[in-house]
């Protein structure tokens, strides 16, 4: 717009100085008046565009969600903590006794540490310190605007650095969804810092040889072949490939609607929308599913750690998750002595559907006691007479 304005002024000057024949068409005053009007309109438009561009942008290409977006969230009284790691400010919760053995909770996609609000009081009441960070692009952590700035390795590197800075020792790791993909890599990189592992509804996709080289390319081809699908189509048949295709192709990921049907009431869904004032903030939420199999060969190396694992390892998958159904089998096949229990009646976001039950199960496991499967009792609304 600024270039167009400059060109118009240039044309005006040219004609007034070198082509006096056109002065009979418009008077000089009329031309100036018209140009001033255009200048004012374009200035206003440019001003609004620049204001929108720079809103909450701490440096070019990195957004930070305003703090007031997180005011008065349902059942979430926890104090934010921040750590600058590289270009990004990373948010994390740090609850419970500072000198207690820590539990590292890592969320998945498209959630944030709010996901653990039902679990934290139960874990801290048992005497544990709880650390729950937000991945880059999620929650109160900084958010790159460009999808190309996100990678599986970025999330791993940031979480490894966080464990170093906090000097976590004798820790318990719990991860679900992307939290497992990232956190298991953290454990594999720093096995001496972790005393035990607990995972639910997650995986560690890996391959070696030719599959490791071409697997991700084939996956991207499959997403392209699936093409864009609607929310209604996703609801009708929710699978991992279809979820990836939906999140990759949709113009503006409707997080409120997604969380409403994947777990949680309207008040909870609004809390998951809070980190994302508009679609510019959602680059991470949109691209991360597409990156799940992007490090097959590196993950295969991580499996070497777990195939030699001699510490407690608990699988607590749910029975009603269409995205990761059957995913526990890979761990049973490759992790010696892994304990397997099932949380019945819960879906993909086990923390929403069975947060208290999962937290109590974790307390039992950390105490070295026997863990058993549980069934979540669904609340049934009473009918009006």
Instruction: Write the DSSP symbol of residue 348.
Output: S
Catalytic residue, chosen from 319, 321, 333, 344, is 321
CB 87 within 8 A of CB 157: no
Name the burial class of residue 277, with classes exposed (0-12), middle (13-18) and buried (19+) by CB atoms within 10 angstroms of its CB. Answer: middle
CB 201 within 8 A of CB 350: yes
Nearest to 161 by CA among 176, 141, 147, 143: 141
Catalytic residue, chosen from 134, 157, 177, 353, is 177
Beta bridge partners of 194: 171
Neighbouring C-beta atoms of residue 121, cutoff 10 Å: 17
Our answer to whether residue 348 is catalytic in this structure is yes
In whole angstroms, give the CA distance from residue 331 to residue 114.
Answer: 27
Which runs of consecutive H residues, i.e. helices, occur in the chain?
2-18, 28-54, 120-125, 152-166, 178-189, 209-226, 231-236, 240-249, 255-262, 266-273, 283-287, 296-307, 328-334, 350-366
Q: In what order do the strands lie in the sheet with 374-375?
A: 81-85, 88-95, 129-133, 102-106, 171-176, 194-200, 313-318, 339-344, 374-375
Catalytic residue, chosen from 91, 107, 128, 348, is 348
Our answer to whether residue 321 is catalytic in this structure is yes
> Which H/E stretch holds residue 58?
strand 57-59
Kindly give the interhelix angle for 152-166 and 178-189, rounded to the nearest 10 degrees: 60
CB 188 within 8 A of CB 305: yes
Instruction: Write the DSSP symbol of residue 354.
Output: H
Q: Which residues are catalytic?
A: 177, 321, 348
């Amino acid at each position: 717009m600024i270039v167009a304005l400059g060109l118009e002024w240039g044309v005006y000057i040219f004609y007034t100085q070198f082509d006096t024949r056109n002065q009979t068409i418009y008077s000089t005053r009329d031309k100036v008046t018209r140009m001033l009007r255009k200048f004012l309109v374009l200035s206003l438009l440019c001003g609004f565009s620049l204001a929108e561009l720079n809103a909450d942008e701490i440096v070019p290409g990195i957004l930070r969600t305003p703090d007031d977006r997180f005011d008065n969230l349902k059942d979430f009284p926890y104090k934010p903590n921040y750590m600058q790691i590289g270009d990004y400010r990373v948010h994390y919760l740090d609850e419970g006794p500072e000198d207690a053995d820590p539990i590292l909770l890592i969320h998945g996609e498209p959630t944030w540490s709010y996901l653990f609000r039902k679990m934290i009081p139960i874990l801290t009441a048992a005497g544990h310190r709880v650390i729950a960070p937000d991945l880059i692009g999620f929650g109160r952590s900084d958010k790159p605007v460009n999808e190309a700035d996100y990678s599986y390795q970025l999330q791993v590197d940031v979480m490894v650095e966080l464990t170093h800075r906090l000097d976590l020792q004798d820790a318990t790791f719990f991860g679900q969804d992307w939290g497992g993909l990232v956190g298991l890599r953290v454990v594999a990189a720093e096995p001496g810092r972790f005393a035990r592992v607990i995972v639910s509804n997650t995986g560690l996709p890996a391959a070696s040889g030719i599959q490791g080289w071409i697997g991700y390319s084939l996956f991207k081809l499959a997403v392209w072949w699936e093409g864009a699908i609607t929310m209604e189509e996703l609801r009708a048949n929710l699978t991992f490939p279809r979820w990836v295709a939906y999140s990759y192709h949709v113009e503006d990921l409707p997080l409120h609607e997604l969380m409403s049907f994947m777990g949680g009431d309207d008040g909870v869904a609004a809390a998951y929308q809070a980190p994302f004032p508009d679609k510019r903030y959602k680059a991470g939420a949109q691209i991360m599913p597409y990156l799940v199999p992007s490090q097959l060969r590196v993950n295969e190396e991580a499996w070497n750690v777990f195939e030699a694992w001699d510490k407690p390892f608990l699988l607590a998958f749910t029975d009603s998750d269409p995205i990761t159904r059957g995913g526990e089998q890979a761990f049973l096949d490759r992790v010696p002595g892994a304990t397997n229990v099932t949380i019945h009646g819960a879906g993909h976001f086990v923390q929403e559907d069975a947060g208290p039950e999962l937290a109590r199960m974790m307390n039992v496991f950390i105490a070295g006691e026997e863990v058993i499967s549980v069934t979540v009792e669904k609340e049934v609304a009473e009918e009006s007479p």
